[in-house]
Structures are given as C-alpha cells and as structure tokens.
Amino acid sequence: MLATAGVALMPGRALAAEPGPIVKPLPPEYFTVHGTNAEMKWTALSGHVIPNDRFFVRNHTRTPVIDAATWRLRVHGNGVRRPLELTYRDLRALPSCTVETVIECAGNGRSFYTSQQGQAVAGTPWKLGAVGLARWRGVRLSTVLRLAGLRHDAVDVLPVGLDPEYVTGGVNLGRVRRPLPVEKALDDTLIAYEMNGEPLPPDHGFPARLVVPGWIGIASIKWLGELEVATTALDSPWDTQYYRMVGPTYPAEGTLVTTQVTKSAFELAWGATLPLGRQVLTGRSWSPDGRVRRVDVSTDGTTWRRAVPTSSGHGWLQWQVPFHPAAPGQYELRARATDSRGVAQPDVSPLNTQGYLFGAVVRHPVNVVQPSD
Ligand SMILES: Nc1nc2c(c(=O)[nH]1)N[C@H]1C(S)=C(S)[C@@H](COP(=O)(O)O)O[C@H]1N2
Ligand SMILES: [Mo]
C-alpha cells in the first residue's frame, strides 16, 4: 500500500482518478451501499467493538483527502479570548483520553417507519446498521476551548467539516456543520484522532473529528477544520432544516433532535434462514446514556423471555437467548430493551417526516427450515 497525504491508496486504485464518495473497500459481506453512505451488516460483527473496515459510513457528499501536514484546526469567534490554530502535531501533543462509545445516525432504523408502520418518510432507508461502537482517542473539546480562553458567557460551539459543500435541490447549504451547546461541548465531547488504535481512517474523519457521546451522528462532525465559539446562539441548516422532529404529534416548527433513543438488533441477516432445532440467538441493545437495564426477546409476538447479557454492557449490551422453533416456517423475532431509567422500547414510533429516531421494537423476519442432509 502506498501512503500519501495521510491516505492509504489501495493497490489498483488509479492515483489520478477522483475517489468515490467512500474511500475504503465496501465488500457486500460487510456493507449495504446507499448512495454516498454504507450500512453495516449485522452479520459482519464479531467482537464488542466494530473494526474500522466494517464501521458504517454516512457522508453528505464525499470523503475528502486531507493532508495532515497542512491541516489546521481554527478556533475562533467572540466566545473565545485567544483564538488559535492547532496543527495535527499540536493536537496530538495535548493531553489525551480514550472513550468507547457508539456513533449512530439519527436516521438509523428509518426504513421501519415504512415497512413496519406503513408511513412514508424522506431519507436514506437504513435498517439497523447505521450504528457502530469504537474506541476513540483524542483531546477533550473542553481542553481546546479552555486553551482558546473560553468566555463564561459562550453558549454555542459550531464545528465545521472540511468535506465539499452540500448542495441539495439546487441550493448550496455550505459546509456540513451543526452547533453544539457549550454544556455538551464541555461535558464529554472529544476531538478524536484515533479510532480503535489507528489514526482515523479517511472515511471516519481524518485527521480529526468530534465524537459526541449519546447524541445523533450529525453532532460528531468529521474532517474538523473549524470551531466557531459564540456568546449568542448559532445555527445551520443541520439544526433548522434537518434533524428536527416534524409531524402530527410535534409543534409546527418541529423539535430539535439531540440525543438518540434506545434500540436493539439481532446479529442476523434480514430474512435469515435458520435451521429447525435448538439454537442461540445473539444481539445487542444500546441507549444514549450507554446503559441498558434489561432486554426481553419474543419469537412469537406474545411470550417474552429475558435475554442473558454476555458483555459488561459498556457502550452497548451484548446478549443471547435460546430459540427452539417447533416447526418450519416464517417467524418474527423481537427484542425490547429497557434503559437505565426503566423505559422500554415502544411498539410504535411516532411519525416524523424525516424518519428520525425509530426506537420501536423491530420485527425481524427469519425463515426456519428443516435442515437438509
Ligand atoms: N463533515 C461531516 N461530518 C459528518 C457528516 C458529513 O457528511 N460531513 N455526516 C454526519 C452524520 S449524519 C453521521 S451519522 C456521522 C457518521 O459517522 P461515520 O461516517 O464515521 O460512521 O458523521 C457525521 N459527521
Ligand atoms: Mo446521520
């Protein structure tokens, strides 16, 4: 492999060619491709953490190729007393910490509004694979904000990505960006430069990205180039036009989406074929505060049994449950997680036009067959 400008070029990939929207290989065993995005297949999982080559990608445009040697992170705005510019080397020299946390798209599970609830929604028709858990290493955003002399009356931080400007319906919305309240910025937000022990892969934000635990994926701006800090509220199309809950049960202007909702998934292909007989089903559940109290599984829609945790539950909870189908045929598997506050996943998610935060119990079809010998 040939390394240039911080990007590993695969053998056979022409140097001069315009890279695709996603740089890394997208083998069909690991991914379902939706335009500029790639969804992780739930059969591609092995350990607790999702390896970099299997982690889902959500790009508004395309993965930019950024040279770490010339990259700068600019921190400016009336919310800081000492505007500054950090090089990659500067960033890596600051005190670091490591967090294991989930990044999940606000639209993860969106397709179930349609397939399960019969409702039309706009956006990428993800199943449950727009989520991943990784070990992120970097510098606390609070460290950088304090270095820049964060003012006590600062209210918002606007991280701006270095990917191409996003043009939709003939309108240029500018660089991908979304304001983050100072409280969250100072709490547990990270400027990450490593993912699972390696420099961030290009598709996941090289050389640096935000990681905002518990919040929807758009908060975790990739290819970070700028942080504008202000003493007045900032906005962007990603909080005024997108990532708002708009629908029959929401106010007309919609409500801002910040945190995620609790979800569960089986580690099975959609419509998987399973043999008749005794077996073990495995899956994972996760919630925005990183804690799941319990998970119940049903294979007939009426009786439920408690799943057995098989991991510490840090970031997401791995679990298993026995399955002993008595007859061949179609089954619908359901997993329902209960979060740390005792709130269980509902049967229905209230409709919103852009299909965000599908937290209802997903009905996962499987086909049980007589094993042929
Ligand atoms: N600059 C930039 N940051 C971005 C995006 C983007 O298109 N551009 N997509 C966001 C969205 S919608 C999600 S869900 C996450 C996905 O992170 P991943 O591609 O590393 O999985 O990145 C977020 N950060
Ligand atoms: Mo997203």
For a substitution probing ligand 1, which of 218, 244, 259 has the most ligand atoms within 8 Å of its CB?
218
DSSP per-residue letters across 279-340: EEEEEEEE-TTS-EEEEEEESSSS--EEPEE-S--SSSEEEEEEE--SSSEEEEEEEEEEET
Q: For the chain, percent helix, then strand, then coil, each to nearest 5?
A: 10, 35, 55
Separation between Cα atoms, residue 97 and residue 169, nearest integer Å: 41
User: Using one digit for the tens of pLDDT, what is the confidence trace for 177-229?
Assistant: 999 999 999 999 999 999 999 999 999 999 999 999 999 999 999 999 999 99
Q: Is 161 in the pocket of ligand 1 (CB under 6 A)?
A: yes
User: Using one digit for the tens of pLDDT, what is the confidence trace for 1-20?
Assistant: 333 333 444 444 444 455 68
CA of 300 to the centre of ligand 2 (A): 32
Within its chain, how far is the Cα of 36 from the centroid? 15
Q: What is the chain's pLDDT, residue by residue, as a tens digit (373 residues)?
A: 333 333 444 444 444 455 689 999 999 999 999 999 999 999 998 899 999 999 999 999 999 999 999 999 999 999 999 999 999 999 999 999 999 999 999 999 999 999 999 999 999 999 999 999 999 999 999 999 999 999 999 999 999 999 999 999 999 999 999 999 999 999 999 999 999 999 999 999 999 999 999 999 999 999 999 999 999 999 999 999 999 999 999 999 999 999 999 999 999 999 999 999 999 999 999 999 989 999 999 999 999 999 999 987 789 999 999 999 999 999 999 999 999 999 999 999 999 999 999 999 999 999 999 987 5
CA of 208 to the centre of ligand 1 (A): 12
Q: Is 218 in the pocket of ligand 1 (CB under 6 A)?
A: yes
HSE value, Cβ hemisphere, 13 Å, CA-based, for 5 = 9
Q: Is 126 in the pocket of ligand 1 (CB under 6 A)?
A: no
- Which segments of 126-251 does DSSP mark as H helices, in order? 141-147, 182-187, 237-240
Give 46's contacts (C-beta < 8 A, 6+ positions apart). none
Separation between Cα atoms, residue 14 and residue 2, nearest integer Å: 12
Question: Would you call 11 exposed, middle or buried from its count of C-beta atoms within 10 A (0-12, 13-18, 19+)?
Answer: exposed
SS3 112: helix
pLDDT of residue 314: 81
Separation between Cα atoms, residue 120 and residue 122, nearest integer Å: 7
Ligand nearest to the CA of 104: 1
Q: Which domains does the chain have, with CATH numbers?
A: 31-256 (3.90.420.10), 263-369 (2.60.40.650)
Residues found in the chain: 373
End-to-end CA distance of the chain: 45
Q: Is 325 in the pocket of ligand 1 (CB under 6 A)?
A: no
CA of 322 to the centre of ligand 1 (A): 36
Which single residue is written with the structure tokens 């509902």? 346
223: alpha, beta or left? (left if phi > 0; alpha if psi -120 to 50): left
CA of 55 to the centre of ligand 2 (A): 13
Separation between Cα atoms, residue 222 and residue 219, nearest integer Å: 9
- Judge contact between 38 and 57, C-beta under 8 A: yes
Ligand 1: which residue has its CA nearest to atom 10? 218
pLDDT of residue 365: 98
Q: pTM for this structure?
A: 0.94
31: alpha, beta or left? (left if phi > 0; alpha if psi -120 to 50): beta
Q: Which helix (H) or strand (E) holds 194?
A: strand 190-195
DSSP 8-state assignment for residue 362? P
Separation between Cα atoms, residue 294 and residue 289, nearest integer Å: 14
Separation between Cα atoms, residue 132 and residue 39, nearest integer Å: 10
- Judge contact between 133 and 49, C-beta under 8 A: yes
